[in-house]
Homo-oligomer: A and B are copies of this chain.
Amino acid sequence: MSADPTPARRSRRGTGAVTLHEVARIAGVAPITASRALNTPDQVSEEVRKKVQDAIAKTGYVPNRLAGSLASSRSKLVAAVVPTIAGPVFLETIQSLTEALAEKGYQLMLGQSGYADSREDALLDAIIGRRPDGIVLTGIMHSEQGRQRLKAAGIPVVETWDLTPSPIDMLVGFSHEQVGRAAVAYFKARGRTKLAVVSGDDERAARRTQGVVAAARSAHLPAVTVMNVPAPTTLRSGREALSELLSSRKDFDAVFCSSDLLALGVVTEARSRRIPVPEQLSVMGFGDLDFAADVLPSLTTVRVDGTAIGRKAAQFIVDRAEGRAVKDRVVDIGFEIIERQSA
């Protein structure tokens, strides 16, 4: 209830929001002291802490992190790039990444690159311009230009969901090629040798397909029939793919699908044609989405611990941001084939 004649007067700039300056003035301390009361409370006396708390409560002050970030060169912002958020595959990773970061006081910025590489460049600029403390890529960065920019920016980068011999910086993923090989071994061990693949046309799925083809060849199995469908994959494209596969009159007794949704589509189409799964046709998916265990027949699939990927990526970046050395900068998270009814 002061008699201040101009209670809300502001200079011509700014938003009119409460600033640390005002909090400090009300608390009767210097701005930097108020700053310390907030950020490094141990460096400040009990008394000061209390006064500042009160002033904050009274004013509803919310620190302007743009200013803080600019001054300290630490934004507490992490960018994640996904092809599209709509594909269910990376969701677990994004979720655990967001959570793990939030726990440490970091916020996530989301960028969608699309499955085409075209927008990636503009996206990269938008991201780098915010000076995030880290960038998490789903997949690896291929364009040499992109790699250069990221390196030049000096921002910690984690590539995920893939392996490469030459990561930009840090990496947590697994070998898609090995997934394909493991699938072939699985089928072969169960007497299935006439293999088909239904695959999304994104790059990682394509490498799983290559793994299947290569492994089949070295095991002297018949040539693998490959059917590509556009990414992101859907149940429908799985159904259509099986239809086409059947009408192609190729012979096959097992199908490896590049996603669980495709696998469910294949299983569904098989059911509508009264083709018994797995008796006549074995089907394997990829992803172990939450429905995989509970559909009929339940889906045999490849499980990748997307949550662990997100957590590990968060840890990598936070460690770096807090100045800790990161020693093992490449983590192979592996995968696992979950045996269920469909294969």
Contacts and interface: CB of A to CB of B under 8 A. Distances in A.
A86 to B, nearest CB: 5
A264 B291 contact: yes
A60 B146 CA distance: 12
A124 B271 CA distance: 49
The interface size bin for chain A is: 35 or more
Task: Count the copies.
Answer: 2
A129 B268 contact: no
A293 interface: yes
A99 B112 contact: yes
A154 B15 contact: yes
B64 A66 contact: no
Contact of A128 (B62, B119, B235): B62
A66 B109 contact: no
A223 interface: no
A119 B235 CA distance: 35
B112 A109 contact: no
B268 A62 contact: no
Contacts of A290: 234-236
Interface stretch (A43-51, A87-95, A177-185): A87-95
A70 to B, nearest CB: 5
B66 A294 contact: no
Contact of A294 (B149, B236, B296): B236
A217 interface: no
A58 to B, nearest CB: 13
A208 interface: no
Given A291-B234, A294-B239, A60 B152 contact: yes
Given A15-B154, A62-B129, A265 B294 contact: yes
B110 A73 contact: no
A261 interface: yes
Interface in A114-135: 119, 123, 125-131
Contacts of A60: 149, 152
Contacts of A88: 88
B295 A235 contact: yes
A261 B66 contact: no
A95 B82 CA distance: 11
A339 B1 CA distance: 64
A300 interface: no
A14 B112 CA distance: 29
B111 A109 contact: no
A129 B63 contact: yes
Given A70-B67, A95-B84, A123-B102, A110 B112 contact: no
A21 interface: no
Contacts of A108: 109-111
A9 to B, nearest CB: 17
19 contacts: A16-B154, A17-B153, A17-B154, A62-B125, A62-B128, A63-B129, A66-B69, A77-B109, A85-B95, A98-B110, A102-B123, A102-B126, A108-B109, A109-B109, A109-B110, A110-B110, A234-B294, A239-B294, A268-B295
